[in-house]
Amino acid sequence: LANERKFRTGYLSLTRGDGGQNLIGDDQGIDLGLIRTQELLSARRIDGAEQFFSRAFDFGFSKNPEEALRIWGHDKILSDVVWTIRKFRPDVIITRFPTTGEGGHGHHTASAILAGEAFDAASDSTKFPEQLKYVKVWQAKRLLWNTFNFGGNNTTKEDQFKIDCGGYNAILGKSYGEIAAESRSRHRSQGFGVPAQRGTSIEYFSTIKGEKPVNDIMDGTDSSALKTEKAKEFLRIVKDIADKFNYENPQLSLPALQNLSRIAPIQFSSIFNIEKYELLKNIIAESAGVFMEATAINQLNVAGDSMRLKFTLNNRLGVNIGQVQVICFGNLFKFNSFKQNENNEITATVKLNETIGVSQPYYLELPQSAGSFNVEDERIIGKPQSDGYMANFQVMINGDIYLYNLPIQYKYTDPVKGELYEPAVIVSPVFINTSPSLVIFSNNKKGELRSINYTLQANIALKEKVGLYAAYGNKKTIVADSVFSMNKNEKKFFSAEINADDIPKDSTVYATGEATLSSYNEKQLLSLKKISYDHVPDIFYHYRDRTRMIKMDLKIAGSTVGYIAGAGDKVPQALEQMGYKVTMLQEKDLTTVNLKQFDVIVTGVRAYNINVWLSNAYPVLMQYVKEGGILLTQYNTNNSIGPVKANISPYPFTISRNRITDETAVVNFLLPNHPALNFPNKITQKDFEGWIQERSIYNAEKTDTAYQKILSMKDPGEAEQDGSLIISDYGKGRFIYTGLVFFRELPAAVTGAYRLFANLIAKKK
């Protein structure tokens, strides 16, 4: 639709995938949503569509749309879909999923339900009337469902409307199946790499609302404006320019293109909108061979400090360039010369106001609700990301002035990858970090002292009075208060002692830091998170770093853990805070002699999906268990993305796709006297309170009789599942498989998850 038919095409994703699983790292929640946002934008740069998002937060797998709409807030997310329709004004809307559940995920089904409701509501002036200050009501012609045949579920029918999407674009030199594969394969965090398709590819469409298409997907859309005499004249001019366009000398078409840019907004206003003008303006610059860019010398720039910039213009084809000036951060800069095919550069230093605000995804500026983000300015809802910082180029070409808003980017040269562009970021003058991320106090130890470490990083040179404070609970103590002299990027390290007696029993308290600078009015509270992967631009966001302090009744039995990392999780850090010495194990470490030093071996999430070499480790691991060791295997997937090909257990069982998505589901103790529920901690129903996102995933089924099933639970309206935790003795040791989502609960400081995990890995009495 975008490349062959040249339609303006948009893609609305209700969530950013925050609650999904991550195949490329240990990023979860907000961080994963930021990665997937950039993966979607990367895909759109390939396939040519525009990207939109609602404010819905992906809170994890949902089995039904009712749960999704309740947690998101039905009306809130419906208003976002209506807003996007009214702003984008589509003639045709297509859903990927049906309302009847074949999409397999409650979020997918909810998206189809909201599409149907928004199709009607967008044209109703009584629905979300506050939007009409900025947009008008809009009625799309039809709502279609793009039916599918995958996963053993065929929803296509021969009487449905069909489009062959398998064409070949000779100009691009690619088939649409090849373009689609490149686009989809950008979703690396989901493991969505796919092979390219070539040849006929029929897509099927069922009409949900509006008129059913007969001959073309755009049948009956309002094209009356294109039938007027003025429109015909406009199309004749455009066709004449296209026919005469010289690909080797594009500047020859400048007079005609510029004439069109002058007359079209006036003579053809009924069909020539702002989007078309922006496209035409860019065609003029590209046909003129004019190169422009605005770059920052440093990637991180400090609010209240100066920012060094470089503006570049290159007149590569020698066209008539007159006055050129740049407006940036309220400053005006003028180019003095325009030699052909030479970089004409202006280097400048601008002062950044202290109140400019630091770089931040717009939807993270306010605290989020349980199921959605909160955005104060409704006009920016739907945008994939914040606009960033811009430089406005005013360029005179052949006597006409054109305005180009260009993003300020950080450009550098990597000795391996060459010239690279990344976002330019504005940060706070100092960062405050705390460590460790987690501290565990015992309910039964009075006067226990633990240190919280504070790191103060100066992002500008400081020589002034600085106050650093530790805040936790209702307390605030001075860590440092004196005149500091610090160079840019210098760090100073401090610590504050926390007394267990200041923390209530069975509670979680957060320790944070804050600083005052004599030269800044605002308190300094923030740190900066950078997420970096090769397939997406650098991602930055500010946050308030904090140490979770848990006070609970926790006992452990054992001291040494060997951990085999999988796809990425933060369980090892949690184990260290519990009091274990954790050693990360690689393939070379899995020898019979080496493993004897460990009380327990734990495999990370999807370890058998990720590490092919674990197939060869089976005999060694089983021997370890047989001689008295404990092997705890966290969940693995068994699907087309990553099937488990290795033996993982002493007795057979099957890894299912069953999961318990209700994090409040009642947990039944099938074997209440089993050591897993009694030693060294007595597990009760209270230990399953406060869990986040879900209970378990990829549970065991078809288990050998050697396994004991410890727990059962169910989602609403479903049968009990008993495969979330299975245990078998093997020789002198024991093997455990669990789908319980410890990888989410432990970093989230869920106390009951710590107590249960301690029991599972406890040495025998």
Write the pLDDT tens digit of every residue in 87-121.
Answer: 999 999 999 999 999 888 999 999 999 999 999 99
pLDDT at 750: 94
> What pLDDT is stored for residue 645 in this prediction?
62
**Burial of 478 by CB count in 10 Å (0-12 exposed, 13-18 middle, 19+ buried)?**
exposed
Burial of 329 (0-12, 13-18, 19+ CB in 10 A): middle
Measured distance CA(175)–CA(191) in Å, rounded: 23
pLDDT interval class at 644 (50, 70, 90): low
Contact 389, 350 (CB under 8 A): no
Could you give the CA distance from residue 282 to residue 269 in angstroms, rounded to a whole number? 19
pLDDT of residue 639: 60
Among 401-405, 506-510, 609-613, the range with the most confident prediction by mean pLDDT is 401-405
Q: Is the pLDDT of residue 704 over 60?
A: yes
Query: Cα(466)–Cα(141) distance, rounded to whole angstroms?
Result: 62
pLDDT score for 35: 97
Dig out the tokens for 503 from the structure. 């923390």
Predicted confidence band of residue 647 (pLDDT cuts 50, 70, 90): confident
What pLDDT was estimated at residue 23?
85
The pair of structure tokens assigned to 90 is 């589509």
Distance separating alpha carbons of residues 647 and 441, to the nearest angstrom: 39
- Encode pLDDT of 716-730 as tens digits: 989 999 999 999 999
Answer yes or no: are the C-beta atoms of 310 and 391 closer than 8 Å. Answer: no
Pairwise CA distance, residues 378 & 8, whole Å: 23
Q: SS3 of 243, please?
A: helix
CA–chain centroid gap for 684, Å, is 36
**How do 654-655 and 700-701 pair as beta strands?**
antiparallel
Question: What number of other Cβ atoms are within 10 A of residue 220's Cβ?
Answer: 15
d(CA 51, CA 40): 7
Residues linked to residue 483 through DSSP beta bridges, in sequence order: 465
CB 51, CB 90: distance < 8 Å: no
pLDDT, tens digit, 9 for 90 and up, residues 669-700: 999 999 999 999 999 999 999 999 899 999 99
* 462-472/475-486 β-pairing: antiparallel
3-class secondary structure per residue, 115-183: HHHHHHHCCCCCCCHHHHHCCCCCCCCEEEEEECEECCEECCCCCCEEEECCCEECCCCEEHHHHHHHH
pLDDT score for 68: 95
Q: Which two tokens stand for residue 467?
A: 């106050």
pTM above threshold 0.75: yes
Q: Which helix (H) or strand (E) holds 493?
A: strand 491-499
CB 695 within 8 A of CB 724: yes
E strands present in 586-629 = 600-603
Q: pLDDT tens digit string along 274-293?
A: 989 999 999 999 999 999 99
pLDDT at 348: 96
- pLDDT reported for residue 494: 96
Q: Give the strand pairing for 600-603 and 560-564.
A: parallel
Q: Take residue 28 and report the two structure tokens written for it.
A: 């979860």
- DSSP class of 604: P
d(CA 602, CA 572): 9
Average pLDDT over residues 589-605: 97
Please report, for residues 231, 284, 323, 404, 465, the alpha-carbon distance to residue 336 in angstroms, rounded to integers and kept in the order given.
41, 22, 8, 18, 44
What gap in Å lies between CA 492 and CA 14, rounded to an integer? 43
The C-alpha torsion from 681 through 683 and 684 to 690, rounded to 10°, is: 100
Asked if pLDDT for residue 643 goes beyond 60, the answer is no
Residue 179 CB-half CA count within 13 A: 22
Dist. CA 130–CA 119, nearest whole Å: 18
Instruction: Indicate the SS3 state at residue 310.
Output: strand
Q: What angle do CA 282, 286, 288 make, to 5 degrees?
A: 115
What's residue 600's pLDDT? 98
Average pLDDT, the chain: 94
Helices (H) and strands (E) in the chain, counts: 14, 41
What's the pLDDT tens digit per position in 551-586?
Answer: 999 999 999 999 999 987 889 999 999 999 999 999
> What does the pLDDT average to over 478-501?
93
CB 710 within 8 A of CB 719: no
What integer pLDDT is reported at residue 473 of this predicted model? 85
CA angle 403, 409, 415 (to 5 degrees): 135
* DSSP states of 32-49: HHHHHHHHHHHHHHHH--
Q: In residues, how long is the chain?
A: 765
Task: Assign 272 a pLDDT band (cuts: 50, 70, 90).
Answer: confident
Nearest-angstrom CA–CA distance, 648 and 621 = 9
The whole-number pLDDT of residue 223 equals: 67
Task: Give the pLDDT of residue 568.
Answer: 78
Q: Is residue 553 within 8 Å of residue 755, measured between CB atoms?
A: yes
Phi, psi of 461 (to 5 degrees): -70, 130
Tokens for 108, please give them. 């997918």
pLDDT confidence band for 143 (50 / 70 / 90) = very high
